Structure 1
Amino acid sequence: MRVTEKGQVTIPKEIRDRLGIVPGSEVEFVPSRDGALLVRVDRAKTEDAIRSFEDWAERVCGTLDLGGMTTDEYMEWLRGPRDDLDPR
């Protein structure tokens, strides 16, 4: 594929058909270690996933009882003491 002066490329028909890319579809180029990946963006699914996560977060907000522990105390209880800090 050749990139035009405007930075455009033509996605081969076989790839468009395989990914269900039609006029008006949104795609993204995602950088990878070996180059870039072409990804079809399904906004409806993405928006549904975000909405579902926000609904879940709202439902569980305030349900964790830390027994009066601070965030730092809870993290140390959960992970154990940090050995990368100077113990002074």
Structure 2
Amino acid sequence: MATVTLTSKGQLTIPRQLRDALGLAPGARLQASIDRHGRLVLVPSKYEPEDLFRHRPRVERVMSVEDMDRAIAAAAGRDDP
């Protein structure tokens, strides 16, 4: 097991062996959470959020909030929003 060090600035230093095993390079992002046992869990982010939408088709039809409210009401079987 490798030791991760917390700096005075609150930054974590991840040992080289772990960075190499995970393919982490400078600037890599990690998702952090605490599991039900109180352990810190770090998971490499494979994609940036904007990467997920980069190749999305352009939206041609734009609806107002009022149009959306009417569509939702109609789908719910109500006459008015």
TM-score normalised by structure 1 residue count: 0.48
1:7-86 alignment runs, 5 A limit: 7-22=10-25, 24-34=26-36, 36-41=40-45, 45-46=47-48, 47-53=50-56, 56=57, 58=58, 60-62=59-61, 70-81=67-78
Structure 2 gaps of 5+ residues are none
| Closer, same or farther: CA 19–79 of 1 in aligned 2, 3 Å | farther
Report the secondary structure of 1:31's partner residue: strand
Q: 1:7: Cα distance to partner?
A: 1.4
Q: Deviations over 1:2-54 (max 9, x none)?
A: 422121222133431221013x2422343345454324345xx535433213x
- How many residues are treated as equivalent by the alignment? 70
**Per the alignment, in what secondary structure is the counterpart of residue 70 of structure 1?**
helix
Q: Which has a greater percent of helix? A: 1
- For 2:76 and 2:55, how far apart are their aligned partners in 1? 29
User: Which residue of the partner structure matches residue 85 of structure 1?
Assistant: none
Q: CA contact under 8 A between 2:31 and 2:43: conserved in structure 1?
A: yes
Distance in 2 between the 1:7 and 1:33 partners? 20
CA distance in 1, matches of 2:28, 2:60: 34
**Percent identity between the aligned chains?**
27
